[in-house]
Chains A and B, each alone.
Chain A
Amino acid sequence: MSESWYGWLLVAGASLVVFFTRAVFILPGARLRLPPAAEKILRYAPAAALMAIVVPDTAMVHGAWVVSLYNPRFVGGLAAFAIAAATRSVTLTIVGGMAALTLVRLFLA
């Protein structure tokens, strides 16, 4: 693969960044405390980031909004949200969301 360095730099950088988040308080071992302001930001950022990834993946096709029952991703994403809210199970969410996507892909799209 010609752009193999790109993949390796991604792996190397992401592993350092992720290890940092896990080790930042455990590794120093001293009595470090999380400032309350930081705690508030940490509360909202992960859900915001995941939502910012998931919404365009679901509602956009090639950069244009396709909010339609004929868009397999849109239906699959909606089904996944409903199942996740009802069951809180990642496994059922994957199975149900992909099943809805497949039904639309085979019979509507």
Chain B
Amino acid sequence: MLREGILGATSLLLGMIPFGIVAGVAMVSAGLTHGQAVAMGILVFAGSAQLAVVPLLVAKAPLWVMYATALVVNLRYVIYSAVLAPYFGHLSRLWRALLAYITVDGMFALFIGRFAVDERRSDRHWYYFGGSLLLWLGWQVSSWIGIFVGALIPKAWMLEFASTVSLIGILMPLFYDRAVVAGALAAGAVALAAAKWPLNLGLLAAVAAGVAVGLAASRLGATRNAQKGAA
């Protein structure tokens, strides 16, 4: 099972390497020391959260705004956690902590696509662990390349923008329906309008507006569908 998991994750590894390099470069160019950047890759181990706090670090935002941003960007993991919990319920506390820590988007999708919750297999966590371990190693090594080699790249190349384009790449699969798109557009507009607010609070206002518009749009869509059904 361990071997199968590792093999299954190899296709995800290729997409992760440039992303890891970009994250490494971005963390260092935002002012983290090499040690801090390496520690962040190991302890936080979440590309989108790491990249999301980088522009805030450059802007010297207060810590709590950065924590809130990391939390909001990673809220999708709360859903993964709820979906995965019944798969790992029979394991020890240490195993559950390890599997929670090592969770990433790609491996989550691969795993729930492959195993049904009610399927009685006691060794499926080895599949999850094997694949996740490969991705963990890939993330660390590619981050180190960015952290230690990235400094040699001239500033004029604007390589820090690579973190923005990779966030755009992560963003697109989250657009699963029109309500999400509507919410995201509202968030983008509010972020532009509120860019000069103190303490980067414009970002949090944008998220609140995005959630509100997303909820309203989904309710509107549901009403419209219901009317269509009645007619």
Task: Out of A3, A43, A95, name the residue touching B214 (CB < 8 Å).
Answer: A43
CB distance from A8 to the nearest CB of B (A): 6
Please state if B73 and A46 are interface contacts (CB–CB under 8 Å). yes
Please state if B190 and A52 are interface contacts (CB–CB under 8 Å). yes
**Alpha-carbon separation in the docked complex, A101 to B33 (Å):** 27
Please state if B96 and A52 are interface contacts (CB–CB under 8 Å). no
Please state if B215 and A14 are interface contacts (CB–CB under 8 Å). no
**Alpha-carbon separation in the docked complex, A19 to B101 (Å):** 6
Please state if A51 and B185 are interface contacts (CB–CB under 8 Å). yes
User: Which residues of chain B from 89 to 128 have any CB-CB distance to chain A below 8 Å in the complex?
Assistant: 89, 93, 96-97, 99-101, 103
Please state if B210 and A52 are interface contacts (CB–CB under 8 Å). yes
Please state if B210 and A18 are interface contacts (CB–CB under 8 Å). no
Please state if A94 and B22 are interface contacts (CB–CB under 8 Å). yes
> By the criterion of a CB under 8 Å from any partner CB, how many residues of chain A are at the interface?
75
**Alpha-carbon separation in the docked complex, A8 to B32 (Å):** 9
| A contact residues around B9 at 8 Å (CB) | none
**Alpha-carbon separation in the docked complex, A14 to B45 (Å):** 10
CB distance from A82 to the nearest CB of B (A): 10
CB distance from B104 to the nearest CB of A (A): 9
If the complex has contacts A14-B66, A27-B93, A29-B89, are A77 and B164 also in contact, measured as CB distance less than 8 A? yes
CB distance from A30 to the nearest CB of B (A): 8
**Residue B169 CB within 8 A of the other chain:** yes
Please state if B174 and A53 are interface contacts (CB–CB under 8 Å). no
**Alpha-carbon separation in the docked complex, A50 to B100 (Å):** 23
CB distance from A49 to the nearest CB of B (A): 4
- Majority SS at the chain A contact face: helix
| A contact residues around B73 at 8 Å (CB) | 46, 49-50
**Alpha-carbon separation in the docked complex, A76 to B185 (Å):** 18
Please state if B52 and A53 are interface contacts (CB–CB under 8 Å). yes
A residues sitting closer than 8 Å to B (CB atoms) are: 1, 3-4, 6-15, 17-29, 32-34, 38-60, 63, 65, 72-73, 76-77, 80-81, 84-85, 88-95, 97-98, 101-102, 105
B residues sitting closer than 8 Å to A (CB atoms) are: 14-15, 18-19, 22, 31-33, 36, 39-40, 43-46, 48-50, 52-53, 55, 57, 63, 66-67, 69-82, 84-85, 88-89, 93, 96-97, 99-101, 103, 156-159, 161-162, 164-175, 179-181, 183-192, 195-196, 202-203, 206-207, 209-211, 214-215, 218
Of all A-B residue pairs in the complex, the 8 with the closest CB atoms, nearest first, are A48-B210, A44-B214, A97-B165, A93-B169, A52-B206, A90-B169, A15-B43, A48-B187
A-B contact pairs, 6 of them (CB 8 A): A8-B39, A42-B79, A44-B180, A60-B195, A88-B173, A94-B22
